[in-house]
Amino acid sequence: MSAKRAKYGMVIDVDRCTGCGACMIACAAENNVPPGPADSTDRTGITLMRIYRADNGKDFPENESVFFPVSCQQCDHHPPCVSVCPQNAVEVDAATGIVAQIPVRCLGCRYCMAACPYHARYFNWWDPVWPEGMERELNPDVSLRMRGVVEKCNLCFHRLQTAREKAAAEGRAEIIAGEYVPACVEACPAAAITFGDLLDEESEVHRLSQRGESFRLLERLGTGPKVYYTSEREWVRALAEKDPASTPGRTAATD
């Protein structure tokens, strides 16, 4: 509840992303995502951060690939999931711009999942179960979600809380940039993700987001995502707004 308003966001350099999946693993471990049971699939598992692959549609040797790590895009302007929730389980945190989902308020109607254009919301189809011993690795700062509720990325909000608490203990009202970093950003071995306050004009994330090579997914919907992507390649940038029907069959999600 600091007095200063922030808009946390990130810029993902897809030219650097190798699709290794370290961000997905770090995210799941940080946020107490249970391992799916044997009969779960890529369509029923929980991947708050998920990597999609696309290519330029050309044959070898001109073929090129790109990986898009997609988490909640933290829409800034009328997020589609907020207005549809019948019991106010989702709202935008005015102080940080984070689209916050409270699983304890969720009744599992899944309307928000149908409303999200990025498929960034996940349903707990099973009760969370950890293999013997693994429950000791659980993160105490993140509560467990029960079966039958929807969850999504909240930019590791608990890490912001921890940073704020540390600042408060030192008598500071504001955190210092860099004290709060989500798990996926920290884990990326290619340093492809830059995180920070988009309103802070001194910040690297603000500078990168304003580059001509930076773009957002489905900007035409007018939801103003706070997750930016950046690429030097023209065809990659074009993917953001491309009609999915224009190249049916040529692109596929990595499973």
Show contacts with another protein in window 175-214 (CB under 8 A). Answer: none
Which residue lies nearer to another protein by CB, 44 or 214? 44
Q: Is 174 in the site for another protein (CB under 8 A)?
A: no
Measuring CA to CA, which residue among 146, 90, 144, 147 is closest to residue 115?
90
Measuring CA to CA, which residue among 150, 152, 153 is closest to residue 87?
150
Which residue lies nearer to another protein by CB, 212 or 249? 249
Interface positions, 49-68, toward another protein (CB under 8 A):
52-54, 68
- Which of 19, 21, 35, 91 lies at the binding interface for another protein (CB under 8 A)? 91
Which residue lies nearer to another protein by CB, 85 or 185? 85
As given in the structure block, the two tokens for residue 105 are: 């308020």
**At which residue do the structure tokens 């504001």 appear?**
174
Q: Is 106 in the site for another protein (CB under 8 A)?
A: yes
Strands 227-230 and 8-13: parallel
Q: Is 20 in the site for another protein (CB under 8 A)?
A: no
Q: Is 110 in the site for another protein (CB under 8 A)?
A: yes
Q: Is 44 in the site for another protein (CB under 8 A)?
A: yes
Instruction: State the nearest-atom distance from the C-beta of 79 to another protein, in Å.
Output: 10
Q: Is 88 in the site for another protein (CB under 8 A)?
A: yes
**At which residue do the structure tokens 């970093």 appear?**
181
Interface positions, 138-167, toward another protein (CB under 8 A):
141-144, 146-150, 154, 157-158, 161, 164-166
Q: Is 122 in the site for another protein (CB under 8 A)?
A: yes
Interface positions, 208-247, toward another protein (CB under 8 A):
217-218, 220-223, 239-247
Which residue lies nearer to another protein by CB, 201 or 248? 248
Q: Is 29 in the site for another protein (CB under 8 A)?
A: no
Among left, alpha and beta (phi > 0; psi -120 to 50; other), residue 243 is beta
216 touches 230 (CB < 8 A): no
d(CA 126, CA 139): 20
Measuring CA to CA, which residue among 189, 205, 166, 244 is closest to residue 8?
205
Q: How many residues bind another protein (CB under 8 A)?
A: 89
Which H or E element spans position 194?
strand 193-197
**At which residue do the structure tokens 């711009």 appear?**
97
Instruction: Give the list of residues 6+ apart from residue 82 with CB closer than 8 angstroms, or none.
Output: 90, 91, 92, 99
d(CA 40, CA 44): 6
Instruction: State the nearest-atom distance from the C-beta of 204 to another protein, in Å.
Output: 25
Instruction: State the nearest-atom distance from the C-beta of 60 to another protein, in Å.
Output: 20
96 touches 74 (CB < 8 A): no
DSSP at 252: B
Which residue lies nearer to another protein by CB, 119 or 207? 119
Q: Is 173 in the site for another protein (CB under 8 A)?
A: yes
Which residue lies nearer to another protein by CB, 204 or 238? 238
